[in-house]
Amino acid sequence: MTRVRKKDDSAEVRKVTWVGLGWNAALSVAKFVVGFFGNSQALVADAVHSASDFVTDVAVIVGSHFWNSPPDAEHPYGHRRFETVITIGIGLAVAAVGVGIGYNAVLALLAGVVSRPEVPVAIMALASIIVKEVLFRYTRNAGRRIRSQALEANAWHHRSDSFSSIPVLVAVVFAILLPQMWFADSVGALIVAFFIMHSAIEIAAPGLRQLVDRGANPEVLINLKNLALSHPKVISLHGLRSRYVGSDLHVDVHIVVDDQMTLKDAHDVAEEVEQLLIDSNENVVDALVHIDPYNANRFAQGDIKTIEK
């Protein structure tokens, strides 16, 4: 017996991401222009980071049209893996940006490039910190509300941009106030690169774990177990398994019921347990419940390992 909950969050994902896309486009252009004319390698590097946010926003918007497609012959479990792939892609894109920025910063330091940032650079860096932190909170809250892995990944991309602007601001202030620290701006760009690389790991890691079919964490499994055992006609259960497909959780479990129960009654119990699992707060979209008849001899001999009430 299996039951599937339909889920389509693509409209909400696109709405939230379009907001981020607009701000990212504006910020990347503004930071590049101010950084270029204000003589700041660090702010130009930060502008590139914002531009990568713009690219990943486009990837999420395009991907959302695919991952909510209904199951078909080639994808019987649906298309939510597209969300996982896009999440990993976002992480890789962020990593590439970090490597590029770090490489250019090291070259500038080795070459002794002198930067003399101007005051508008510091103002732009501060404005970027504020805007990106607001975008992070807005996107993260939406991602948690609809349980979207891609949105949460994109939120952390916003946060990494916010964090990366902090060393830019500090480096620019030092470079302005202490002209003898000619290397401050390049050091700021290098620190930005490290922030970006850390963000890339945080973004890609969950998706990579899902590609190897990692299941739900122990707390989620305990909650699902207790929900199944809460049914008055369930004697015990075993074989509780789960796996994520994108941000969706698929669950299957064997429940033990009275062996004197009619087939129809057992079927009804299975449906009711499935509904309990799907109605949980754990993002379960597919529940498969197998019925086992209670047999005192088999349980006594340990043929079936169960979790008793």
- 44-75 residue pLDDT tens: 877 877 777 777 777 777 777 777 677 777 77
* Distance between CA atoms of residues 4 and 73, nearest Å: 17
Query: Are 171 and 97 contained in the same domain?
Result: yes
Domain identity same for 179 and 86? yes
Q: Round the CA-based radius of gyration of the chain to a whole number and report it.
A: 26
168 & 268 share domain: no
Contact 143, 151 (CB under 8 A): yes
Identify the H or E element spanning 245.
strand 236-245
Query: In terms of residue numbers, what domain contains 129?
Result: 2-211
The answer on 140 and 250 residing in a single domain is: no
Which helix (H) or strand (E) segment holds residue 66: the answer is: helix 41-67
Cβ neighbors of 256 (< 8 A, separation 6 or more) are 234, 235, 236, 237, 238, 292, 293, 294, 304, 306
Same domain, yes or no: 153 and 257: no
Query: Which of 149, 178, 211 corresponds to the end of one domain?
Result: 211
Q: Is the same domain home to 205 and 230?
A: no
> For 291-302, what is the mean pLDDT?
68
Note whether 136 and 247 are same-domain residues: no
Total structural domains in the chain? Answer: 2
- Which band of pLDDT confidence, cut at 50, 70 and 90, is reported for residue 307? low
CATH code, domain carrying 57: 1.20.1510.10
Same domain, 103 and 165: yes
Give the residue from 153, 176, 211 where a domain finishes.
211
pLDDT at position 225: 93
What six digits make up the tokens of 132? 């990106």
Choose the final residue of a domain: 211, 230, 252.
211
Pairing relation of β-strands 2-4 and 236-245?
A: unpaired
Does 17 lie in the same domain as 60? Answer: yes
**Which H or E run contains 239?**
strand 236-245
Q: Does one domain contain both 151 and 285?
A: no
Rounded mean pLDDT of the chain?
81
How many alpha carbons lie under 13 Å from residue 208 in its C-beta half-sphere? 10
C-alpha–C-alpha distance, residues 220 and 304, integer Å: 23
| pLDDT reported for residue 309 | 52
Across 33-43, average pLDDT: 84
Q: What is the pLDDT of residue 19?
A: 87
What is the distance between the alpha carbons of residues 147 and 9, in angstroms, rounded to a whole number?
9
pLDDT at residue 4 above 60? no
Q: What is the 3-state secondary structure (H, E, C) of 16-60?
A: HHHHHHHHHHHHHHHHHHHHHHCCCHHHHHHHHHHHHHHHHHHHH
Instruction: Please check whether residue 149 is in contact with residue 83, taking contact to mean a CB–CB distance below 8 angstroms.
Output: yes
291: phi then psi, degrees, rounded to nearest 5: -95, 130
Q: Are residues 149 and 230 in the same domain?
A: no
Q: Are residues 52 and 176 in the same domain?
A: yes
| Integer Cα distance of 151 and 83 in angstroms | 9
> Looking at residue 254, which CATH number applies to its domain?
3.30.70.1350
pLDDT band at 297; cut points 50, 70, 90: low
